[in-house]
Structure 1
Amino acid sequence: MKRKMRVLASICALTLALTALTACGSSSTTKENTPSDTNNTNNNNNTNVSTEAAKDTITALLPPVSPAYQENFPQMEKDFNALYPNLTLKIEPASWEDMTQKLDTQVNAGSPPDIAFLGSSGISKYVEQGMALDITDAATQEMIADFDQAPLEYMKNGSGLYGFPAYMEVHALGGNKEFLEKAGIDYKKIQQEGWTFDQFREDIKKGVVSEGGKTSRYGFVFATAGVTSKDYLSILVKNAGMPAAFDKDLKFAYTSKNYLEVLKDIRVMIDDGSMPKELSSVDAGKRWNMFLTGQTMITGKGLAVFENSANKNNEKIKANDGSAVKGSIPVEYIVLPVPTFAGQKAQASAVVDGYVAFRGKKEPTAEHKANVVKAAYFLASGKVAATTNNDLFAAHITKSGKKEAESMTVNRNPDNVAAVEAMLKTASPARPDIPTDLGAKAIKLEDEVIVPKLQALIAGEITPEAMYEAVKTAAIQTFGEDGVVKD
């Protein structure tokens, strides 16, 4: 594996003084008897453990993947130890806001956790740094066969497999059913057939409520601040003929004329009053509060779990127990697809996040590597996966998870289930063919140029044309004249 300890510019300022997790566990020579996995009551389909095995600790850095996910950490650790008495799973919780900072600090110190939860699109960065652990030779055939093939492909880079997927969902939009119906929007048709940007723009105008020059409800609000700063543009451009940062010829795609069209469309929705002028300050929390309090008809990005979150808030309102979001109203959440741009076909933004394996400065032993794989598989399959995905309202992607979920109940709107299924059929495919160096360069360009320019565009400080030229110039400097799309 190519080892480069290059620190990306976007994380240079991070302090290395933060306490890092113990890297890659620790082994001792203590032996103890362990039961065969054929008696595994958790249905995680793990391979047999030898009767004599050394004690080992596997560390994991995990954010709040689902609303109740982190509440289950003690039980996860207990269940894993019951399955493997010689192994200890030590979980460190992190918020979504500080997850990347914690992980990068530990990676840069050469002492990352054994497992970290992250988006599949970020794998190339750590492969390029030489810190992601290829588990191809340690993952058993039984483990591999448990997963649906499509999401598993997202955890690959080149010929290597770097972890197991937790779920495969699509980034969608979410609508308030009452407001959609009052605006005369046929959301059921849109759920199945999609909509163009021109149609979308006219529909969100219908959702705006203004009086005396003051807007009390917008047609559309998308979180663009904080951890969501990359989401807005990256989701939209997929539906503009750019499903990945590189085309099939490995040319950087965001120099396409369609990229400029998306930038223009982003700005026009603010200029015509369909979105707030203060959009650049809307983070994920504010976006969701605006939706629950009736300040917007449509919100983004939306995942299936938002329906569950809305339902739970509705229950709190009904119970009048004071725990509901302040000022919130009952909301029936409707899943909606992202509109298409520039006459392109729908290519839903697939989100595959999962449990990625890491290595420290030293190559881990074969035994420890196998233990890391057991822990990653434990988290991504069986009871843990079924519980997490049901909490997320996400589809199950393992046979073992589907089996466990049979005894669990989920109250989902069938129209939303059908809408997600329709979008998954158009989901952009995995791109393990993108070389790690190109992937790392694209992430660097996004962090240093695209995100700050997008913030300036949304704030009205620069024009779409100015942002496009800045991205194009930086792309040519990074990938060369022949390494970018010219159309």
Structure 2
Amino acid sequence: MKKRSSVLTLFLSVIMMLSLLSACAGNGNNAPDATNSGNKGSSNSGSELKKDTITALLPPVSANYQARFTDMEKEFNALYPHLTLKIEPASWEDMTQKLDTQVNAGSPPDIAWVGSTGISKYAALNVLIDLNAALSDEVKADYDEVAMKYFQLGNSQYGLPAYLAIHSIGGNKQFLEKAGIDWKNVQQNGWTYDQFRDAISKGVVKNDKGETTQYGFVFATSGVTSKDYLGIMAKSAGLPDYFDKNLKFSYTSKNFLGLLEAIRQMIDDGSMPKELSSIDAGKRWNMFLTGQTMITGKGLASFENSARLNNEKIKANDGSAVADSIEAEYIALPTPTFNGADYIPTAVVDGYIALRGKKDPSEEHIKNIGLAINFLSSGSIAANYSNELFLSPITESARNAAVLEQYPRNEENVKADQIMMSKAVPARTDIPTDLAAEALKIETEVIVPKLQALLANEISPQKMYDAVKAAAIKSFGEDGIVVD
């Protein structure tokens, strides 16, 4: 009986020791290691960690991005066996609508793709997650500082950037040279609105009936691109942001009226189509490839590759090229400057935000979102979509990663892109969320619809300016707007 009691005592002692060791091992040491980038696995085995699923809603960022979703999910699970990454694809056209529907329903994805300018919108809805505590200093140091700031509001890091690009314009090399335009000089030194207006007038071609067969300039202004034209041009019109340094709404400046007059003037000159308000991104690019315009916008570095690929299809004569398209060499060009202002390019920083639903996520789930969002925006994934977009990666891990395919580049375009990038201004992190949200409301309810009316020649530049000014005074008061 005594021997049996001793054995029982020993057994209970062993159980207590194992429980103690298990408790020590689980005292926060098995949390996902957020110091790892997307290229490194956790040092903990997946069986020791609580299983979790992270969801993401993502558009076709580059040509092959969505095609790699299955591989991306598998790679993430291999890095973190306790985690599952579930990616839902969306088109560019319905990305925002899908996200907003899910946000309004209280069940958004953990991760979603947005342009950095939309962060204030979701911050105002109180659905963003601050990832500062979930991202280590090592992870943060992997990203270029300028790009990182675009996903900050105040001291909060609401996501991670995917890339930094410049919204420019682009010309058909053959047409530019036929019109006598020194495009290399423009790439190096830029051009004023008067110089640009003269250049695009020379790009207009009419047939024997007096019908325009080639425009000097076409810009997409319909659908998802409805606000791009005005916003991109405004950067170099003395209006780099909706607010000046004193946090006064800037679109009440006389510079705004001057820009509106120029936008209408280019249509009245005949250099742009009268039906500009109905031209969406697809039609704009089709017009460039079919030789219906000398210069197109908005432009991105990747358009050089898109034009090159279509040229190869034309040469192959396999029927896969855009119908009625011609061989066109894409030349990257800066937007013109207006009102005597300095050239400030529109730096586009898109990326991934972290979202919460009706219930606050656990600290563990936020850490897992941090792992997934870092995985998607760095390393080989970022290297490949940046490469396809002809962009320089914004993380050191992506710059050091191998890419699946190399593409030929026009060296003059590379130089032009570098000049434009060098003139990009840092993100404004000093604009309060409530002001940013109010400006976005004015943009949605007044600026965009009035711009469409202006392009359709339904209202004058002065009437659009007056409407925007009235809305700004209503939102910010007489003392909250720029008066010059």
* Partner Cα distance (1:105, 1:112) in 2: 8
What's the counterpart of residue 446 of structure 2?
Answer: 449
Partner of 2:189: 193
Is 1:348 the counterpart of 2:338? The answer is no
Return the alpha-carbon distance in structure 1 between the equivalents of residues 104 and 247 of structure 2: 28
Does the CA-based 8 Å contact 1:218-1:275 persist in structure 2? yes
User: Aligned-pair distance for 1:44?
Assistant: 2.3
Instruction: Kindly indicate whether the alpha-carbon contact (under 8 Å) linking 1:34 and 1:85 is maintained by their aligned counterparts in 2.
Output: no
Cα displacement string for residues 317-369 of structure 1 (whole angstroms, at most 9, x for unaligned residues):
11111111101111111000000000000010000000111111111111100
Query: Aligned ranges for residues 161-240 of structure 1 at < 5 Å?
Result: 161-211=157-207, 212-240=209-237
Letter matched to residue 61 of structure 1:
L
Q: CA deviation at 1:409?
A: 2.0
Q: Given residue 144 of structure 1, which amino acid in structure 2 is its aligned partner?
A: K
User: Does the CA-based 8 Å contact 2:384-2:403 persist in structure 1?
Assistant: no
Paired residues for 1:235-314 under 5 Å: 235-314=232-311
Give 2:6's aligned residue.
Answer: none
**Of 344, 366, 370, which aligns to 1:373?**
370
Q: What secondary structure does 2:243 align onto? A: coil
Question: Any idea what SS the aligned residue of 1:76 has?
Answer: helix
Which segment drifts farther, 270-279 or 302-311?
Answer: 302-311
Q: How far 1:103 sits from its partner (Å)?
A: 0.5
The alpha-carbon deviation at position 46 of structure 1 amounts to: 6.2
Contact 1:37-1:46 within 8 A present in 2 as well: no
Structure-1 separation of matches of 2:41 and 2:139: 7
8 Å CA contact 1:60–1:114 kept in 2: the answer is yes
Q: Which of the numbers 58, 82, 85 marks the counterpart of 1:62?
A: 58
How many residues are matched?
Answer: 454
Q: Is the 8 A contact 2:378 2:398 kept in 1?
A: yes
- Displacement of 1:408 in angstroms is 4.9
| Conserved? CA contact 2:384–2:404, under 8 Å | no
Contact 2:387 2:403 in 1 (8 A): no
Is the Cα–Cα contact under 8 Å of residues 357 and 372 in structure 1 kept in the other structure?
yes
Indicate which of 417, 430, 435 corresponds to 2:432. 435
Deviation, 1:411, is: 1.4
2-structure distance, mates of 1:36, 1:149: 22
2:475 is matched with 478
Match of 2:102 in 1: 106
Alpha-carbon shift at residue 428 of structure 1 (Å): 2.6
Letter of the aligned partner of 1:103 in structure 2? L
1:328 aligns with 2:320: no
Query: Cα offset for 1:406?
Result: 6.8
Match of 2:99, SS state, is: helix
1:208-255, Cα deviation, whole Å (9 max, x unpaired) = 001222000000000000000010000011101111111111111100
Whether 2:13 is the aligned partner of 1:44: answer no
Note closer, same or farther for the CA distance 1:45–1:337 as it changes in structure 2 (3 Å cut). Answer: farther
After superposing the two structures, state which structure 1 stretch, 405-414 or 152-161, moved more: 405-414
Alignment root-mean-square deviation, CA: 1.9
Deviation at 1:395, TM superposition (A): 1.1
1:133 pairs with one of 104, 129, 134: 129
Report the CA distance between 1:405 and its aligned residue.
Answer: 3.9
Indicate how the Cα distance of structure 1 residues 140 and 247 shifts in structure 2: closer, same or farther if over 3 A, else same.
same
Any idea what SS the aligned residue of 1:389 has?
helix
1:144 correspondence with 2:132: no
In structure 1, distance between residues paired with 2:40 and 2:300: 29
Shift of 1:47: 6.0
Shift of 1:36: 9.0
Instruction: Tell me the distance in 2 between the aligned counterparts of 1:84 and 1:404.
Output: 20
**8 Å contact kept, 1:36–1:50:** no
Specify every segment of 5 or more residues in structure 2 that has no aligned partner in the other structure, as ranges. Answer: 1-25
Q: Is the radius of gyration larger for structure 1 or structure 2?
A: 2
What is the SS of the residue equivalent to 2:85?
Answer: strand
Aligned equivalents of 2:405 and 2:64: distance in 1?
A: 15
Secondary structure of 1:111 counterpart = coil
Alignment of 1:3-42 (within 5 A): none
- 1:35-60 CA-to-partner distances (Å, cap 9, x unmatched) read 9999x9x9625664466211111000
Gaps of 5+ in 1: 1-28
